[in-house]
Structure formats: structure tokens, C-alpha cells
Amino acid sequence: MDYRVQAGVLGTGSALPSRVLSNSDLERMVDTSDEWITTRTGIKERRIAEANESTSDYATLACQRALESAGVSPDEVDLIVCATVTPDTMFPATASLIQHKLGATRAAAFDLSAACSGFIYALSLASAYIESGRYTKILVVAADLLSRITDYEDRSTCVLFGDGAGAVLLGPADAQKGFLAFDLGSDGSGAEFLIQPAGGSRVPATIESVESRLHFLRMSGQETFKFAVKAMVSATERVLSSAGMDVSDIDLLVPHQANIRIIEAARRKFDLVEEKVMVTIHKYGNTSSSSMAIALDEAVRAGRAKSGDLVVIVGFGGGLTWGAALLRL
């Protein structure tokens, strides 16, 4: 008996802190300028969570909104996959905390770590579960509070990152709709380019590790930049060609929001008009795993991604990792 069905998007949601950290705020914290940040990154402001909040709070809100938009109740959810590199705690998984807060009593739950590419990895995994017939309702939530691991004394990284969460409810798609192809990849030789050095088994937390600021994110900006442009372009090309499609078929590109110059390089390479590329970086900065999920939710809610549209979601990040998803919405 053939159980295979196509997995599709039943609903989307996102959640962002209300507190804004602007470029002029950062000018008062480190040696930087609104002009440098704007021209080098495209970022004007980002959102920062309050001290008493955690990743699961925003993830839960994003999931609630995705369920509401799908008209599905929490007890119908079979599985919650949370993509994050800033979990509430190293364990238990943040997905288990979300499961409890949502009241998704039937759902299994686990976290997935693929840095900024985590949303695409989680979508790919959840799609395979749906297609296999094992599960019929899966919440994929990408959530990160990067402010928690950002060094606000390091101007080369602290201007980039923000906090947020985005969620998608996946289930069996209507005919001709759903995820048509995925392209995932990793190159661990670049692991040191984007890393939180301490807090794991290699450098457990000690007074020395904290004093050396090793629990903060570190990034080799230029190496990551070069990798990012190549990864975005090649992953998009591969995911389209594996479905027998072309860039000209795309209705909307939803890229990871790391730097407007990376997004623009991809847009120009593909000769896409600006209206076909979703950009949120000016208002949220780089929100890690959640950036593509938030951008997708905003695109759907603003009517920029409509039922039947062909959408490419593409990103890259620590690992190094990359991923692209081809979706008929």
C-alpha cells in the first residue's frame, strides 16, 4: 500500500520581542556608526528579548499563531521540531518546553541544531515524516535569542544579531501543492568560522572560560560572507533543477537575513526584481534559525506569498551548513 503524500504548509506564525535596539543605541555601546551598519549590513534595528524571557516563550507564541492560522488545536499536533542554537537549557530540549506550554499533549518533541540553516533542515525532516504517513500534523519552529550569546563589546558581531521565532504547521498538502524538493549540505571544515567556543564538551563552563568570553558567539565575517553567497546561489539552483524548474518560475525568494549585500548578490545573480525577494533584515537584523521562518510568515500575512505561488526558502549558517526548500504554497 502506498502511504506517500506530499507535505505542505497549513499555517504560519511568528513572534518578536517588542524592545527595539537601534543603530543609534549601538553607537552608544561600541565604536560604530549608523552609517557603517546600514551600508555594510542593511540593518537599522533589531529586537531584543527581556531578561526574564527565554527562547521557548517566543517559540510557543509563534506556534500558537501558526496553529491559529491553520485552525488546528494543539492536541492535534503529532510532533514538534525546534531548530535552535540558543535553547532554554542545554537539555531538556526546548521543544519539550514548547509542547508543555502549548498543551500539545499528544506531541513528541525534540530540538535540531543546524544554526541558521536549522529551519530548512527541520522542514525537510518534518516533510519526510508527513510523506511517510507516520505523522499528519507537525509544528516546525525556528527560534533563537542570539542576544544571549552575543558579545556586546565586539562591534564586529554585536551589530548584526537579534531575537525572534517563526513557526510553520506542516501536514498533507492539497493536490499540486507542498514541498517539491530540498537541498541540504554541510562543510564541517569551516566549523571554526561561526562558533560558540565554550559551554559544550570541548570547553565546559568554568570561571576561566567565562572570563575569556568564550561563551559568546565568534564569527570570521569575511570567510562566512564568501561562503554565504556561493551557498545561497548553488543551493537555489540545485533545488530548482531537481524539480525540473528554473529561476524564472520563482514567485518569491525567502532568503536567510544575514546581510543585505548577500541577499542582493543572490538577487542580481538570479536577475530577480526586488518584489520577488523577501527582506526583513532592516527591522530585525539576523535572527539566526528564525529569520527565514519570520520572513515566510510576514510574506504570507502581507499577501506577498499566496496560495499556488512557487517559493524558494534558502539559507546558510554555522557548521558550516546550508539548505534550500522548494515550496508550492
Q: Which residues bind ligand UT7 (CB under 6 A)?
A: 32, 36-37, 40-41, 116, 155-156, 159, 194, 221-222, 224-225, 228, 258-259, 262, 286, 317
Q: Is position 100 annotated as part of the catalytic site?
A: no
| Block residue for cell numbers 561600541 | 30
Pairing relationship of beta strands 218-219 and 194-195 according to DSSP bridges: antiparallel
Q: Is position 158 annotated as part of the catalytic site?
A: no
Closer by beta carbon to ligand UT7, 220 or else 242:
220
| Nearest residue to the partner ligand UT7, using Cβ | 221
Kindly state the cell numbers that stand for 67: 496553529
Continuous segment of H or E residues that includes residue 73: none
Closer by beta carbon to ligand UT7, 162 or else 171:
162
* Nearest distance in Å: CB 142, ligand UT7: 12
Instruction: State the DSSP string of 237-281.
Output: HHHHHHTT--GGG-SEEEE--S-HHHHHHHHHHHT--GGGB---H
* Nearest distance in Å: CB 227, ligand UT7: 8
Kindly state the cell numbers that stand for 13: 506564525
Closer by beta carbon to ligand UT7, 107 or else 278:
278
Q: Is position 256 annotated as part of the catalytic site?
A: yes
Closer by beta carbon to ligand UT7, 116 or else 253:
116
* Nearest distance in Å: CB 85, ligand UT7: 10
* Nearest distance in Å: CB 39, ligand UT7: 9
Q: Residue 72: exposed, middle, or buried by beta-carbon count in 10 A (0-12, 13-18, 19+)?
A: middle
In 180-259, which residue ranges form alpha helices assigned H by DSSP? 207-211, 221-242
Distance CA 71, CA 11 (A): 8
Catalytic residue among 23, 63, 82, 116: 116
Active site residues: 116, 256, 286
